[in-house]
Amino acid sequence: MAKKTRQILRRIRNVRHVRQITHAMYTIAATQVIQRKRALLSARPFGERAREALRGLWAFARAQGVPHPLFEPGKGGKVGVLVLSSDRGLCGRYNIEVNQATRRFAAEHPGAEFVAVGEKAARFLHRRRLPVVREFVRAYERPNLDFARVLLDELLARFPAEWREVHVIYVRFLSELVQRVRVERLLPIEVEPGPPGELIVEPELPRVLDRAARLYLLGEIYRVLAEAKASEHAMRRQAMKAATDNADELLERLTLLYNKARQQGITREILDIMGGAEALREEG
């Protein structure tokens, strides 16, 4: 019985240690969600306004007969895919859903080439033997425009010469409790048709259109980075909250089990003492 109680005590200590870790990770993730959500909410309005401005400018350019390669399918025969995952685990279903979406996309688009952002995506793509043209590991713990510009340059180095389309796979942040994996097309740029209007463009229209299109893409890439990172921390917070709650329940059961075992041991000792006393009385 003493051996059993020692084993239970050892399990209680181990569970308490794990609970301390999961609770600390929950607290850190909760703080990160607030910060990443604030950055995301400031990034979304820029994308909306940039799309509106680009729609009017592209309509005007089409009316003037001015083409642009970023609005047309590329000359290459392949499809490029930007995959955003996490560098660390313990974030619930986050990487599982990204990997499942990546696998489905690869099955629907044979020969697609991938740009992996995050260690989990890079490992998954290599394990599946899917072509990875570039990978970025531990590069966007805090999404910023500098890293978004690096990704944009990487994509534009292959579009439109090598790739006919570019897609992005990421997890969209809908709320602190709801996140959804998304597959969206980045290139060629698709904007809703609108009236051309009357614009005065300086300097020349092709240069302004090119600059506006690149600025819009930069904002979109930064937005999906912010969406992905906010979703990652939100899912990690949910996972660590569930792990902490499970640890609390397990501690309660183990404590009850320990108290029962200890009570049984005490009862057995009392019975032994009473039995010994009764034997001595009978001998006397």
Within 8 A by CB and 6+ apart from 4, the residues are 261
Q: Is residue 34 part of a domain?
A: no
- For the domain that residue 54 is a member of, what is the CATH number? 3.40.1380.10
Q: Kindly tell me the sign of the dihedral angle through the C-alpha atoms of 68, 73, 77, 79.
A: positive
CA distance 58 to 67: 9
Which run of H or E residues covers position 137? Answer: none
99 lies in the same domain as 188: yes
156 lies in the same domain as 61: yes
CA distance 25 to 280: 60
pTM: 0.87
Token pair for 182: 């998304």
Q: Is residue 249 part of a domain?
A: yes
- φ, ψ of residue 226 to 5 degrees: the values are -65, -40
- For the domain that residue 260 is a member of, what is the CATH number? 1.10.287
Return per-residue pLDDT of the chain as tens, 284 residues: 567 778 888 888 999 999 999 999 999 999 999 999 999 998 899 888 888 888 888 888 888 888 899 999 998 889 999 999 999 989 999 999 999 999 999 999 999 999 999 999 999 999 999 999 999 999 888 899 999 999 999 999 999 999 999 999 999 999 999 999 999 999 999 887 666 666 666 678 888 889 999 999 999 999 999 999 999 999 999 999 999 999 999 999 998 888 887 777 667 767 667 666 666 676 65
> What domain count does the chain have?
2
Residue 253: count of CB within 10 angstroms of its CB: 11
